[in-house]
């Protein structure tokens, strides 16, 4: 998974260098970014289908490609942070997760491996079920902060045609006065990786997709944190609603979110 991410990441890094020139063109960079996204996804698919024949895929661009019965699947976002990439902001990532089928074969269960790769900083966040979370060869642990007043929390904000502004505003109004700061950097996979690394103390967002969060959920859990929906329910992949934090803050954040949504 890391080998595939690094191969695709090298192409994204090269294409990112062209964005500055495309910003001033009449056509603009949107079509170019779409092609960069597709090329990165095809690179990941080519690499991973050779490494794990018979596995399925769930990809942001390519959709679901079933594998053989009873085999796991890769859940892939080839370019998380597309808007950042489009505007020449060096904050985006490749996210890959390996997900097992449920025992009855009718759905998808736990995530067993994860990679979030940031091509610009060359950081590889990775985790394996029951083996911990890592940044390169260094073990990751969520932060130890337990007071809301010390907490730096990340979020994803609604934007044109996406998300519930009223709901987000209620949550922000509840949390904002209590925490040390709230950040919105625009790449959920990296937000979750940074919670795992202790850079953020918590993260919330809604209306995401499995490829946005599958890898990040495992990273946080393997680093000692908790990931649930806004009501405190844990799932293998939290995407419609995701609340991630260390063990000292998760219950406090969950209480505020739940109250704000009543």
> What local confidence, expressed as pLDDT, does residue 61 receive?
85
> What local confidence, expressed as pLDDT, does residue 160 receive?
80
> What local confidence, expressed as pLDDT, does residue 105 receive?
82
Give all strands of the β-sheet with 202-206 in edge-to-edge order: 181-183, 152-155, 202-206, 241-245, 226-228
Q: Read off the pLDDT of residues 92-109 as tens digits, 9 standing for 90 and up.
A: 999 999 999 999 888 999
Phi-psi category of 256—alpha, beta or left, where left has phi over 0 and alpha has psi -120 to 50?
A: alpha
Please state, in angstroms and rounded to a whole number, the distance separating the CA atoms of residues 100 and 180: 38
Q: Read off the pLDDT of residues 43-79 as tens digits, 9 standing for 90 and up.
A: 999 999 999 999 999 998 899 999 999 999 999 999 9
Is the alpha carbon torsion for 172, 221, 38, 240 positive or negative? negative
By C-alpha distance, which of 56, 61, 58 is closest to 36? 61
Structure-model confidence comparison of residues 24 and 4, the more confident one: 4
Please state, in angstroms and rounded to a whole number, the distance separating the CA atoms of residues 132 and 134: 7
> What local confidence, expressed as pLDDT, does residue 26 receive?
47
pTM: 0.94
Is the alpha carbon torsion for 256, 165, 75, 127 positive or negative? negative
Does the pLDDT at position 2 exceed 50?
Answer: yes
Length of the chain: 262
Q: Read off the pLDDT of residues 114-163 as tens digits, 9 standing for 90 and up.
A: 999 999 999 999 999 999 999 999 999 999 999 999 999 999 998 887 88
- CB-based contact 254:225 (threshold 8 Å): no
Please state, in angstroms and rounded to a whole number, the distance separating the CA atoms of residues 255 and 14: 44
Domains, the chain: 2-139 (3.30.540.10), 148-260 (3.40.190.80)
- The Cβ of residue 100 has, within 10 Å, a number of other Cβ atoms equal to 17
Structure-model confidence comparison of residues 220 and 161, the more confident one: 220
- CB-based contact 223:212 (threshold 8 Å): no
> What local confidence, expressed as pLDDT, does residue 202 receive?
98
**What confidence tier does 29 reach under pLDDT thresholds 50, 70, 90?**
low
Strands 152-155 and 202-206, sheet pairing = parallel
SS3 119: coil
- CB-based contact 118:93 (threshold 8 Å): yes
Phi-psi category of 250—alpha, beta or left, where left has phi over 0 and alpha has psi -120 to 50?
A: alpha
> What local confidence, expressed as pLDDT, does residue 20 receive?
66
Please state, in angstroms and rounded to a whole number, the distance separating the CA atoms of residues 67 and 80: 24
H-run or E-run covering 13:
helix 2-22
By C-alpha distance, which of 154, 148, 174, 191 is closest to 258? 174
């Amino acid at each position: 998974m890391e080998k595939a991410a690094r191969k695709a990441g090298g192409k994204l890094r090269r294409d990112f260098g062209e964005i500055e020139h495309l910003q001033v063109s009449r056509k603009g960079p949107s079509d170019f970014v779409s092609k960069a996204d597709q090329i990165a996804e095809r690179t990941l698919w080519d690499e991973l289908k050779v490494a794990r024949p018979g596995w399925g895929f769930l990809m942001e661009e390519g959709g679901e490609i079933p594998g053989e019965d009873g085999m796991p699947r890769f859940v892939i976002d080839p370019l998380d942070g597309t808007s950042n990439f489009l505007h020449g902001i060096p904050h985006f990532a490749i996210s890959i997760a390996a997900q097992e089928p449920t025992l009855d074969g009718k759905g998808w269960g736990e995530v067993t491996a994860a990679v979030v790769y940031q091509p610009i900083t060359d950081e590889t966040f990775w985790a394996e079920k029951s083996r911990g979370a890592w940044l390169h060869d260094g073990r990751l642990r969520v932060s130890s902060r337990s007071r809301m007043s010390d907490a730096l929390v990340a979020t994803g904000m609604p934007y044109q045609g996406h998300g519930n502004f009223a709901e987000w505003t209620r949550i922000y109004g509840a949390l904002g006065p209590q925490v040390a700061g709230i950040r919105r950097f625009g790449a959920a996979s990296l937000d979750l990786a940074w919670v795992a690394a202790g850079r953020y103390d918590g993260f919330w967002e809604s209306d995401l997709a499995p490829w946005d969060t599958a890898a990040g959920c495992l990273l946080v859990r393997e680093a000692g944190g908790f990931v649930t929906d806004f009501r405190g329910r844990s799932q293998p992949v939290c995407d419609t609603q995701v609340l991630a934090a260390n063990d000292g803050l998760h219950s406090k954040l969950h209480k505020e979110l739940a109250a704000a949504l009543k």
